[in-house]
Amino acid sequence: MVDVIATGTTQTTETASTSSLSALSEDYTRFLTLLTAQIENQDPLEPMDSTQFVSQLAQLSQVEQAVQSNANLETLSAQFGSLSAVAGASMIGHEVTVTSSSTMLEDGASDGYYMLPDGAAEVSAQIVDPLDRVVRTMTGLPITTGELVELGWDGKDDLGEDVLDGLYSVRLTALNADGDQVTAYTYRKTAVQEVLFAEGELYYNLTGDETVATSSVLAVR
């Protein structure tokens, strides 16, 4: 399913172009009215210099052409956007690895991963439920650097009890040998459920109803 969720953006831009053309038409009318009045009331012995009027008329024509060109570009942009949305539909059902601070728990398995920089010596993670409650603290996680490492959450809380399936947040903490925090990234490996198009960019709606931009995709299978 391709869901175009931001058609209002295109419509707003087209309305702006139409408004500009309308305002330009009013300027033309005012200009011609003023020109006619000055010609009717000029001194025949000292006729006015028409050069300035010709110059202004030429400028108005240039502005009109620019506005029309912009309107054409807006139409092309909207058409390209629609084509991109249709092309993105081929991603539905594919597994993607995306940058995400979430992990989906389903039947005791989670889809969370992380990646560490060189120098990481200690890694821990907190699993947080939708009510912002820490349900599990995981320490002593693998410190392999430079590649994806599975988070390995088994769906249990700190008391060893199973928690409900759903989307949880992951708060990852990585420290170097000096105890200073280093930057680490969290990911998900999950399936694309639908493709969304908004403000000129494609988005993927993933399992668990999380939506991410295509720019956050690390890999596709």
DSSP characters over 116-168: B-TTEEEEEEEEE-TTS-EEEEE-S----BSS-EE----SB-TTS-B--SEEE
SS3 176: strand
pLDDT band for 107, please (50, 70, 90 cuts).
very high
Domain that holds residue 201: 95-220
Q: Which residue has the higher pLDDT, 40 or 56?
A: 40
Q: Provide the CATH number for the domain around residue 173.
A: 2.60.40.4070
**Angle (deg, nearest 10), helices 51-88 and 7-40:** 170
Q: Are residues 42 and 126 in the same domain?
A: no
Q: Which amino acid is at 73?
A: L
Report pLDDT for 10. Answer: 40
Mean pLDDT throughout 85-98? Answer: 77
| Shared domain check, 181 and 84 | no
Helix (H, G, I), strand (E, B) or coil at 106: strand
Residues 135 and 167 grouped into a single domain: yes
State the total domains in the chain.
Answer: 2
Residues 11 and 105 in one domain: no
**Do 104 and 87 reside in the same domain of the chain?**
no
Picking from 66-75, 112-121, 177-186, which range would have the lowest pLDDT averaged per residue? 66-75
Same domain, residue pair 147 and 44:
no
Q: What is the pLDDT of residues 127-140, one digit of tens each?
A: 999 999 999 999 99
Judged on CB neighbours under 10 Å (0-12, 13-18, 19+), 47 is exposed
Please name every residue paired with 212 in a beta bridge, in sequence order, or none if there are none.
Answer: 204
pTM above 0.75, yes or no: no
Cβ neighbours of residue 19 under 8 Å, at least 6 residues apart? none
How far apart are the C-alpha atoms of 160 and 37, rounded to whole Å? 90
Question: Is the domain of 155 the same as that of 87?
Answer: no
Q: How confident is the model at residue 189 (pLDDT cuts 50, 70, 90)?
A: very high
Are residue 28 and residue 41 in the same domain, yes or no? yes
What average pLDDT score do residues 202-208 get? Answer: 90
> End of a domain among 91, 108, 124?
91
* Residue whose pair of structure tokens reads 């708060």 in the numeric block: 171
If you average pLDDT over residues 96-108, what whole number do you get?
95
Q: In this model, does residue 15 exceed pLDDT 70? A: no
65 and 130 co-located in one domain: no
Domain boundary among 64, 91, 118: 91
